[in-house]
A and B are shown apart, each in its own frame.
Chain A
Amino acid sequence: MIYLDSAATTLQKPPAVSRAASFATTHMASPGRGGHQPAMRAADTVFACRNAAAELFHVEDPGRVVFTMNATHGLNLAIKTLVKPGDTVLVSGYEHNAVTRPLYAQGADVRVVEGALFRPREILARFEEMMTPEVRCVVCNHVSNVFGFTLPVEKIAALCRRRGIAFVLDASQSAGNLPVFMDQLKAAFIAMPGHKGLLGPQGTGLLLCGEEVETKTLLEGGTGSLSARQEMPEFLPDRLEAGTLNVCGIAGLLEGIRYVRKKGTDRILNHEKSLTAQMAEGLMGMGHVRAYVDQKGDSQTGVLSFNIIGTDCEMAAQALGARGICVRAGLHCAPLAHKSAGTFETGTVRASVSPFNTPREIQLFLREIARMANT
């Protein structure tokens, strides 16, 4: 099998991830809920993961690293803290439903900052134009989950700071392979999954909370602190972590983060970009394939969309699956991104890589696409 669906979930993980999750299953109890050894062992692991994440993402206080179920959970917390009905919110034209649906549910006045694919400067200029005084919040992904398009989020965050607008970053496709630094971005929130670039198990995620944000809860319940009171604690992370944490997942996530830190995000990014360039070159040389590639710039990471002309994208993905190649097709839960790129009607086939893919796998993938395109 050749797995090229890491934008959804990385499947190949460092072996320590499953070992740690498995060990936690039978050796770790509820952190903060008991003073016995299994509870304290769990507490140590959770704290180690919080610290490792704080160091990787430059968060000064590890207490502001909150464990979530996934990026969607974190984005819901962020958006429902910051956005009230009727508030004006800017989003890029490449957002996922994890951003747009919570905004819709909140009744926000959502304004889409349109811009062509792989034109970061154009998008930045449009953001600057549209940051008018009534804008309450900007929510933006770092990398499009459909096209691998890297948005100029450092500059967008700087514009937000200058204008006093809250900034929320969706780092779903960038955590683990691009620099994501809270101390530089000074975002209100940064949300990310644990199961993609951080190489942890599914059911894990992180929400990094800015220093000056008073958070709202999505869930209320036990925290192992201030138990005599009926209000949720005001302090983080307890305020946003009601109920027993996913300790098994967090134990695995800790090992994933350790791997990323040891390998280095720059090396991971270079590897993934190199594989993407190999894919792009191969696909663009095929007459019956339309590939969405940043040919001039440097704004594409390890995600690439394409279509085989005359073949439905879902049928193409299914045919690849039957050949043992795992990709994803359709709208990728990001209809807005497809509208922005002009692929809403057709959808695309998406191939996305991880640190564990090899040039040989890309070669085999290209060979199968060439065969399909010629039949």
Chain B
Amino acid sequence: MVYYLIVCRSLTYAQRTASALERAGITTQILRSPKVIDQEGCSHSVKVSERNLADALTILARVELSPKRVYIMASDGSYKEVLL
């Protein structure tokens, strides 16, 4: 299944991001960012489904929680950065 990872600068930021999305009815999961996308060491990401990304970004812009980066997991299991 294709999904997006919203990379956050910290666990707390990821939790705030997930809370804002959950409040808006978007299902999320917080996970540690995969090493391959983790440019500066450890970070946390919020996982959202493919169909929810656009809404998620709109909501996050509204509550001023800007994602650090966004990645899509491709069908071969690799991650590609999404240009916002």
Q: Which positions in A face B, CB cutoff 8 Å?
A: 31-32, 34-35, 40, 43-44, 47, 50-51, 61-63, 223-229, 233, 235, 237-238
User: Which residues in B have their C-beta under 8 angstroms from that of A63?
Assistant: 10, 12-13, 16
Assuming the contacts A35-B31, A35-B32, asked whether A227 and B41 have C-beta atoms less than 8 A apart, the reply is: yes
User: Which residues in B have their C-beta under 8 angstroms from that of A44?
Assistant: 15
User: Which residues in A have their C-beta under 8 angstroms from that of B43?
Assistant: 225-226
Give the CA-CA distance A228 to B43 in the complex, in Å.
10
User: Which residues in A have their C-beta under 8 angstroms from that of B40?
Assistant: 226-229
Give the CA-CA distance A44 to B32 in the complex, in Å.
14
**Nearest B residue (CB) for A64:** B12
Choose from B9, B13, B16, B41 the contact partner of A228 (Cβ within 8 Å). Answer: B41
Task: Write the nearest CB–CB distance from B40 to chain A, whole angstroms.
Answer: 5
A224 touches B12 (CB 8 A): no
- The interface size of chain B toward A, counting residues with CB under 8 Å, comes to 17
**Number of A-B residue pairs with CB-CB distance less than 8 Å in the complex they form:** 59
Give the CA-CA distance A246 to B4 in the complex, in Å.
33
16 example contacts (A-B, Cβ-Cβ < 8 A) are as follows: A32-B42, A34-B32, A47-B12, A50-B12, A62-B16, A63-B13, A223-B10, A224-B10, A224-B11, A225-B10, A225-B42, A225-B44, A227-B40, A229-B40, A235-B10, A237-B10
Let me know if B30 is at the binding interface, CB within 8 A.
yes
Give the CA-CA distance A237 to B12 in the complex, in Å.
8
8 closest pairs, A vs B, by CB? A227-B41, A228-B41, A32-B11, A227-B42, A47-B15, A35-B32, A225-B10, A226-B40
A-B contact sample (12 more), CB < 8 A, given A224-B11, A225-B41, A226-B43:
A32-B42, A40-B30, A47-B15, A47-B19, A223-B10, A225-B9, A225-B42, A226-B40, A226-B41, A227-B41, A228-B39, A229-B41
Choose from B9, B19, B42, B44 the contact partner of A235 (Cβ within 8 Å). Answer: B9
User: Which residues in A have their C-beta under 8 angstroms from that of B11?
Assistant: 31-32, 43, 224-225, 238
User: Which residues in A have their C-beta under 8 angstroms from that of B19?
Assistant: 47, 51
User: Which residues in A have their C-beta under 8 angstroms from that of B41?
Assistant: 225-229
Give the CA-CA distance A224 to B42 in the complex, in Å.
6
For chain B, residues 1 to 52, give those with C-beta under 8 angstroms from any C-beta of chain A. 9-13, 15-16, 19, 30-32, 39-44
Give the CA-CA distance A241 to B11 in the complex, in Å.
12
Task: Write the nearest CB–CB distance from A9 to chain B, whole angstroms.
Answer: 28
B13 touches A235 (CB 8 A): yes
Task: Write the nearest CB–CB distance from B84 to chain A, whole angstroms.
Answer: 20
Task: Write the nearest CB–CB distance from B4 to chain A, whole angstroms.
Answer: 17
Give the CA-CA distance A127 to B51 in the complex, in Å.
59
B42 touches A226 (CB 8 A): yes
Assuming the contacts A40-B30, A228-B41, A229-B40, asked whether A238 and B15 have C-beta atoms less than 8 A apart, the reply is: no
Give the CA-CA distance A229 to B13 in the complex, in Å.
19
Task: Write the nearest CB–CB distance from A57 to chain B, whole angstroms.
Answer: 16
Task: Write the nearest CB–CB distance from A352 to chain B, whole angstroms.
Answer: 34
Give the CA-CA distance A238 to B42 in the complex, in Å.
12
User: Which residues in A have their C-beta under 8 angstroms from that of B39?
Assistant: 228
Task: Write the nearest CB–CB distance from A288 to chain B, whole angstroms.
Answer: 55
